[in-house]
């Protein structure tokens, strides 16, 4: 870990933008609005043990207000924080079936924001880390209003991506294609401070993260790969350790720092119709952009995540992500007939 310098995330974003002489400041404003939403969600997540917020959506709290589940709260918070800034032309969220237009009363900008407001939220009642994931593109269409076409992109077109992990501390990690940088929220001053500059994932790890309860649904290649990782072979630093939180952002964040591989392969119960679980636009693409910027890899087993052309807003993909040597080896196992 790098020694902490007192660099706030705002200053860092501005300095990153100065690397692009033609930048208008729009992008800085967009990221700034997002950090504000992140701080608010962090505050609410930290209060999660306090009864009223844990109620089901629709329950009424002591003030007579409808209590919202945290994922609903986070979704609304991001939409409200982002819609009026004039930076965005359209949004899409894992929680909404269709794209989220920018209301007519607000100015429209040139960026597209896609996000998973609170990933892993099924863990929240047990005080397990959860996260927000975001992905930013430049608008592609030229008509009056942005459309779904502006969202159905290849991950390699992203201009920025990041996540916030609400863990033992709250951290925001982002990239604009100039390396990966991590900031820790200092709750006493309410600022994200640069704590992890230029994160690089080790080229090979010793950790694998997968839901082993799904082993009966795996393809043959995944089975052989996981069995291989468990063999005791000191010359190749095996066996690996299994670490699985079940909260993608937290599993990914740990592996990014320590090295390792996270796998959510497709369910092959019906071999003719493999069923992946994780979403391309809100989960796989942003984390793939980050991991590549940190020197790692993200793949479906067959192809690079960032090369996939999205055809649906809620498209799902197998996700194998982490240290480069680990992902390359998985691909070998997966493709061996």
Write the burial class of residue 218 (CB in 10 Å: 0-12 exposed, 13-18 middle, 19+ buried): buried
Per CB under 5 A, 251 contacts Mg ion: no
Residue 33 bears catalytic tag: no
Annotated ligand binding at 111? The verdict is no
Exposure letters 234-254 (e unless 16+ CB within 10 A, then b) = eeeeeebeebbbebbbbbbbb
Report the sign of the C-alpha dihedral through residues 201, 114, 146, 27, in that order.
Answer: negative
Terminal Cα distance for the chain, rounded: 41
Choose which of 119, 191, 219, 326 interacts with ligand AHM (CB under 6 A).
Answer: 119
Please say which residue, 196 or 316, places its beta carbon nearer to ligand AHM.
316
Please say which residue, 117 or 221, places its beta carbon nearer to Mg ion.
117
Residue 125 bears catalytic tag: no
DSSP symbol at 151: T
| Active-site annotation holder among 31, 70, 88, 118 | 118
Query: CA 145, CA 108: separation in Å to the nearest integer?
Result: 9
Choose which of 24, 61, 127, 211 interacts with ligand AHM (CB under 6 A).
Answer: 211
| Active-site annotation holder among 83, 119, 150, 191 | 119
Annotated ligand binding at 122? The verdict is yes
**Residues 99-128 as x/- pattern, contact with Mg ion by CB under 5 A:** -----------------x--x---------
Residue 219 bears catalytic tag: no
Please say which residue, 132 or 176, places its beta carbon nearer to ligand AHM.
132
Per CB under 6 A, 266 contacts ligand AHM: no
The nearest distance, CB 29 to ligand AHM, in angstroms, is 28
Kind of pairing between the strands at 207-209 and 261-264: parallel
Query: CA 82, CA 67: separation in Å to the nearest integer?
Result: 22
Per CB under 6 A, 120 contacts ligand AHM: yes
Residue 231 bears catalytic tag: no
Query: CA 133, CA 182: separation in Å to the nearest integer?
Result: 14
Per DSSP, the residues of 243-303 read: ---S-HHHHHHHHHHH--EEEEPPB-SSTTS-B--EEIIIIIHHHHHHHHHTT-EEE-SSS
**Residues 158-197 as x/- pattern, contact with Mg ion by CB under 5 A:** ----------------------------------------
Residue 270 bears catalytic tag: no
Residues 6+ apart with CB under 8 A from 195: 1, 2, 4, 171, 182, 183, 184
Instruction: Residue 16: name the closest of 8, 103, 209 by CA.
Output: 8
Annotated ligand binding at 121? The verdict is yes
Per CB under 6 A, 248 contacts ligand AHM: yes
The nearest distance, CB 153 to ligand AHM, in angstroms, is 20
Q: Using CB under 6 A, which of the segments 157-165, 170-178, 242-250, 290-298 binds ligand AHM?
A: 242-250
Residue 251 bears catalytic tag: no
Residue ranges of alpha helices (H) inside 180-264 are: 220-230, 248-258
Per CB under 6 A, 246 contacts ligand AHM: yes
Instruction: Residue 11: name the closest of 198, 194, 186 by CA.
Output: 194
Please say which residue, 248 or 280, places its beta carbon nearer to ligand AHM.
248
Q: Using CB under 6 A, which of the segments 76-84, 112-120, 302-310, 323-331 binds ligand AHM?
A: 112-120
Residue 150 bears catalytic tag: no
| Active-site annotation holder among 17, 30, 34, 71 | 71
Residues 6+ apart with CB under 8 A from 89: 102, 108, 109, 110, 111, 112, 139, 145, 146, 150
- The contact set with ligand AHM (CB under 6 A) reads 94, 116, 119-122, 211, 246-248
Could you list the residues known to form a binding site for substrate, using ranges.
Answer: 119-122, 211, 244, 277
Task: Give the catalytic positions in this structure.
Answer: 65, 71, 94-95, 116, 118-119, 283
Could you list the residues known to form a binding site for Mg(2+), using ranges.
Answer: 94, 116, 118-119, 283
């Amino acid at each position: 870990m790098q020694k902490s310098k007192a660099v706030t995330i705002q200053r860092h974003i501005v300095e990153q933008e100065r690397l692009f002489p033609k930048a208008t400041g729009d992008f800085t404003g967009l990221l700034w609005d997002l950090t504000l939403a992140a701080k608010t969600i962090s505050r609410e997540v930290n209060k999660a043990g306090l009864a009223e917020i844990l109620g089901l959506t629709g329950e009424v709290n002591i003030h007579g207000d409808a209590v919202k589940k945290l994922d609903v709260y986070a979704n609304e918070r991001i939409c409200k924080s982002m819609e009026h800034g004039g930076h965005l032309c359209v949004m899409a969220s894992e929680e909404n079936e269709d794209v989220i237009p920018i209301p007519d009363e607000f100015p429209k900008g040139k960026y597209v924001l896609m996000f998973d407001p609170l990933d892993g939220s099924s863990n929240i009642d047990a005080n397990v880390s959860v996260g927000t994931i975001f992905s930013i593109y430049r608008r592609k269409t030229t008509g009056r209003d942005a459309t779904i076409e502006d969202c159905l992109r290849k991950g390699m077109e992203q201009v920025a991506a990041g996540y916030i992990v609400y863990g033992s501390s709250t951290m925001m990690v982002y990239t604009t294609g100039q390396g990966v940088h991590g900031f820790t929220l200092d709750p006493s001053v309410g600022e994200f401070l640069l704590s992890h500059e230029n994160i690089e994932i080790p080229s090979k790890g010793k950790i694998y993260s997968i839901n082993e309860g799904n082993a009966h649904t795996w393809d043959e290649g995944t089975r052989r790969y996981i069995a291989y990782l468990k063999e005791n072979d000191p010359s190749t630093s095996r066996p690996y350790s299994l670490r699985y939180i079940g909260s993608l952002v937290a599993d990914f964040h740990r592996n990014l720092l320590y090295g390792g591989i996270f796998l959510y392969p497709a369910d092959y119960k019906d071999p003719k119709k493999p069923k992946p679980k994780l979403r391309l636009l809100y989960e796989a693409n942003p984390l793939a952009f980050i991991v590549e910027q940190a020197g790692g890899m993200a793949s479906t087993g067959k192809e690079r995540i960032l090369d996939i052309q999205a055809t649906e807003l809620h498209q799902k993909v197998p996700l194998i992500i982490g240290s480069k040597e680990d992902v390359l080896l998985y691909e070998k196992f997966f493709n061996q007939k």
